[in-house]
Every structure is written in C-alpha cells, then in structure tokens.
Chain A
C-alpha cells in the first residue's frame, strides 16, 4: 500500500505568461513547478519548504488538481489524478482536502461557521439529514477547539486563529486520507501558531491522515514533519528524513536556509557558521541554466551552469540535487 498511496512523478506546472508582442502576444512558460517527484506514505507528514515564490503553493494545489498539471503524474492509491475527468476528480477529492494560508479569505463571508464546515458533507453525504449534519459539525467544532455554540456565527466575528480552526474543521469533517496544508499558520500570531500546529498533529494521529505541510518556517516544519522536501524555483533541491536533513544538510541552499534559523542558545548562535544568501530569487520566467540555484550558490563552478544536477542518493533516504554536495 505504501507503494501507491501518493506518488508524484516529474510533476510540472507551467503558466503561460505574456512577455511581449503588441497585438499578437508572445508567451513564455512560467515554470512554477518543474519536474518534482516524491512519495508520501500513509500517516506521514512531508514538509515542503522554500522561499516565497518557489512554487510551494502551486505544488500543493497541483497535487489536489486544483491547478491542472502541465506534465507528469500524481497517482493517488494507484489512479492517476491528472487523467480523471471532472466527475471522477470530484469523487476522488473526498479523501483529499486542503487547509489554506489566509484563514479569513478561505471562508465564504456570507456563510455561518456551521454551514462552512458542513459544506463537504452536503456535497458528499447528500443523504444526511440536517440534524445529523449539525451534530457532526458540532462534534467537529469541539474537536478543533471551537465552542459548538458559535455554530451560527459568521467568519468576520472570529479571530484569525479561530477562522483557521474552522478551515481545519472543514478539511477534516470527511475524515480524508491526505490533507494539504498550505502555510496554514504563517498568517497567524506566533502564540497561536503552536496551538494550530499541535492541533494538526493531534488530528493527524487520531485520524491517521497524511499531511503535505507547506511552509517557509523551518522551525515549524521541523516540529511537524517526518520528511522534508526543499524546493527552489520549482525544483527539488533536497529530500530527506527530518533528522538527517536538519543534522547534515548537503545542499548549499538547505544549509543557507538552516543557518538563517536562529538557535535559542546565544553561545551556539554566535559560534554558528553562517551561509549568507546574496541576491534575490531569479524570475521563474528566466531560470538560470543548469542548476537553478547557481546564481546565489557559494560553491558554484562551471559545470553548474551547463548541467542540471539530478537527484542522487547521499545516504539512506536522503536525496540531494547538487554537483558538489560531497565536496
């Protein structure tokens, strides 16, 4: 079963972007996600990290086919989601849910909390009576730490953290098998972030679901993930078990990201070797040739401009895409 739970192979999402032309437009592909492959096992959390604009969110949406893939496959329990028609896709989504970044924007302002949480039930359990639905919604609200009495309130009457709990309740009410969390806590106050992350972990344990946890916050990813995937300009830089990637990051980009995370111990913090990233992310419209990270990489050499580094094994369950990872 672990073989065919979720398998993403060479996934590409390109958006045509108008880059010139006055009457007849010239279009270039914006490679938001460019050849990403990974597996996800039942009950596992895969953290996806990277700077903003690296295609993390697009990747999450493409896995659920909320954005169509340009190429590659997303096979879910053995069926390729990219080949399904609309109806089959809707049926498949019963087990695939998503929690969004902006808690308020992801809730319909004209619906009550109860109606929002019940929406998946209305779509997938049409036979349910109103009372049954209400009972289930109330139970779910309690489960995510909301007072069931608030069932008739509207999103604008809740705080950001509470809105996110509503979003989580909506995603969990069908007991899905996979939930994509697209930066679920980055819009929240730091004090609330931990609560929401812990809630997600509790739910994961109780419901046995898999999470695809997208975030730019390495500390949170470290807390929640089993494995971590590092994305840069839509490509996988490094993919490894949590322990292994935090202890021995091989890719220069991962090293730079990790060295930017402050260590609570001031002595260690000062002694730490910093790898500073210079410059900005290049535009995904015109990615550098060869290794996409080469423009900012401290170890770049001539080969990096010519050849695209492939993912290679740097240890058990530790893949890295860099020509010079072991030098």
Chain B
C-alpha cells in the first residue's frame, strides 16, 4: 500500500517535545509487585535465607578441608564435632566429614529442585498455553493426555525408569520434571482460557498478530505471575520428592548424597548419633519452609486483588 502521502499528514513536529523533556518512566506491574514484595518481611527474609543457603552450599565446599567422599581413616566411626581434626560438625558412621556432606547434599537438593522444576516449567507452560489458546481439538487432545498421565502412578513410573535405565542423576531430573509439568499445564491452561477472551488479545489479533506471536507476546507475560508463584511452590515439592526417592534408595548414587539421602542414613543411627539425622533434617525443612513462605509472599505481591 502507498502510505507516503498519508504519512505526511502525521509528521507533526514532535521531535522537539521529545528532546526537551526526558521521557516519563512508567512503573510496570512487575515493579509494583516488587515493591509490595519488599514490604512483606517474612517473604523477603525467606528469599534472603534461601540465597544464603544456596551460596553456602555451592561455595562453602571450597573452604571445608574435607571433601564429601573423603574418609578419615583415623576415625572410621561417627565422631562428635572436633575442631582439632577440623570436623566442625563431626563425621558420619564411615568417618566422612558431616559438614562437607551436608553442603554437597544441599547442592544436589537445590539442583534437583531447580532443574526438575525448569523441565516442568517449559513443558507445562508450552502445553498449557497451546491448549488454552488454540482450544478445540488441540485442547481436548492435550488435556486428555494430561488426564491419562495423571492416572499413571508416579512412584511406579519413576521406579521403573530407574530400574530400566539405571540410576542416573539427570534421568532423575527428567523423570520428576515429566511428572510435575501436569499440574503446571493445567494452571497455565486455566489462566490462558480467561485471558483468551480479553479484549487486548482480540486487539492483538486485529493488529495482525499470529497465534505464536500472541502467545509469546501477550499470553506468557500475563500468566507469568501465576507461574512464578507456582514454581516457588513446586521447587519444595520436587526437593521433597527427591528426598523421598533417596530415602527409598532410588535417589542419588553414593558416595554422592542429598539431604534426603543424609536423612535416610541418619535415621538408621538416630539412637546412637541423633546429630546425623537432625542436621540434614533441619536444613531440609528450613529450605522447604522458606520456599513456601516465598511462594505465599509472591502470590500476595503479584495479584493483590485475589486475596
């Protein structure tokens, strides 16, 4: 089309108005939410606590004189905290440094939580947004598939995977992620359905947007708030699931460990050395607690109307 003659009508001298004053910065809904979040002490404390925990778990081992798999041959038994031997939290029944193992277990737990949730996030958001936005047959098909997946007993599924493919660190992420995306996809689909009928989606279509570009540009940014909340609530679930698998002996392979595995080990000796049970249990529950608090705070901050 020839828009040259028409454009000339619109060439109003705007540049000087633009130059004279700096643009007014808008405050996005994200910034608003962040401000509300900051006012929530419990949630902020949880967030800081989690960051500290994660940093300590990932950086801490550099400063601990022992590694998680190193056996102190002089001891070969559970020892209480001993500063001379530099076992600040003592050792476990095999004489491995408790602190080093605790930190390494934390690494695994955090990684499982984050990686498995990312798997769930990517699959769940894609499937949910597609089902909700495209609707019709696609929706029917995807959601029936989700229903079928829900019916598959999760533990059974993971145990079979572990048996067939052997115990594999990454397989565990995938397996947990593959199970956790179901709820995510349902949540995203529900949100998308309410968004789909909003006028701004219609406006986007009238502005020439294709389905893909509308999903990416409008749907996803608008469901992101809910998704973030759900993610912070999924991470602890996943960590717990991993702990449970480790407790059953299906989690990480020794000598690697996770908080769940440490708890399992500690439980066996809890009458002799309660320390080996209590330490990982405290770490794990603190983390779960913080994630839940953070999730709650985020939910309040992101949609203040829905309270």
Q: Which residues of A contact B (CB under 8 A)?
A: 61, 64, 66, 86, 90, 93-98, 100-102, 105-113, 119-120, 123-124, 135-136, 138-143, 147-154, 156-157, 167, 170-171, 174-175, 206-208
Contact = CB atoms under 8 A, between A and B. Distances in A.
Nearest to A92: B208
A105 B201 CA distance: 9
Contacts of B15: 135, 138
A109 B26 contact: no
Nearest to A90: B208
B23 to A, nearest CB: 5
A149 B21 contact: yes
A234 to B, nearest CB: 20
Nearest to A137: B14
A149 B29 contact: no
B209 A123 contact: yes
Contacts of A110: 28-30, 221-222
Interface string B216-234: 0110011000000000000
B28 A175 contact: no
A142 B25 CA distance: 18
B14 A142 contact: yes
Nearest to A206: B9
Using C-beta atoms within 8 Å of the partner chain, give the interface range for chain B.
35 or more
B206 interface: yes
A152 B206 contact: no
Given A123-B213, A149-B24, 6 more contacts: A97-B207, A107-B203, A108-B221, A110-B29, A112-B28, A135-B14
Interface string B24-52: 11111110000000000000000000000
Contacts of A120: 207-208
A119 B207 CA distance: 7
Nearest to B201: A108
B14 A123 contact: no
Main DSSP-derived SS at the A contact region: helix
Nearest to B17: A148
A154 B29 contact: yes
Contacts of B206: 64, 66, 93, 96-98, 171
B200 interface: yes
A62 to B, nearest CB: 13
Interface string B107-134: 0000000000000000000000000000
B194 interface: no
A98 B203 contact: yes
B200 to A, nearest CB: 5
Contacts of A108: 200, 204, 217-218, 221-222
A102 B23 contact: no
B29 A105 contact: no
B144 interface: no
B306 interface: no
A151 B9 CA distance: 21
B147 interface: no
Contact of A152 (B12, B25, B29, B208): B25
Given A105-B199, A139-B14, A119 B9 contact: no
B6 to A, nearest CB: 5
B14 A66 contact: no
A141 B10 CA distance: 10
A192 B163 CA distance: 70
Contact of A94 (B1, B24, B26, B30): B1
Contacts of A124: 208
Contacts of B10: 136, 139-140, 143
A154 B9 contact: no
Contacts of B3: 174-175
A69 B171 CA distance: 50
A152 B11 contact: no
13 contacts: A96-B206, A105-B200, A108-B200, A110-B30, A111-B221, A140-B10, A142-B14, A150-B24, A154-B29, A156-B29, A157-B27, A170-B207, A171-B206
Contacts of B24: 147, 149-150, 152-153
Nearest to A141: B14
A106 B206 CA distance: 11
Contacts of A66: 202, 205-206
B145 to A, nearest CB: 23
A113 B14 CA distance: 16
B28 A154 contact: yes
B148 interface: no
The 8 residue pairs across chains A and B that have the minimum distance between CB atoms: A153-B26, A123-B208, A106-B199, A120-B207, A105-B199, A110-B221, A175-B6, A154-B26
B272 interface: no
Nearest to A170: B207
A109 B222 contact: yes
A170 B6 CA distance: 16
A142 B12 contact: yes
B152 interface: no
A94 B3 CA distance: 12
B140 to A, nearest CB: 15
Contact of B7 (A102, A171, A175): A175
B117 to A, nearest CB: 23
A151 B23 contact: yes
A320 B142 CA distance: 50
B18 interface: yes
Contacts of B26: 112-113, 150, 152-154, 157
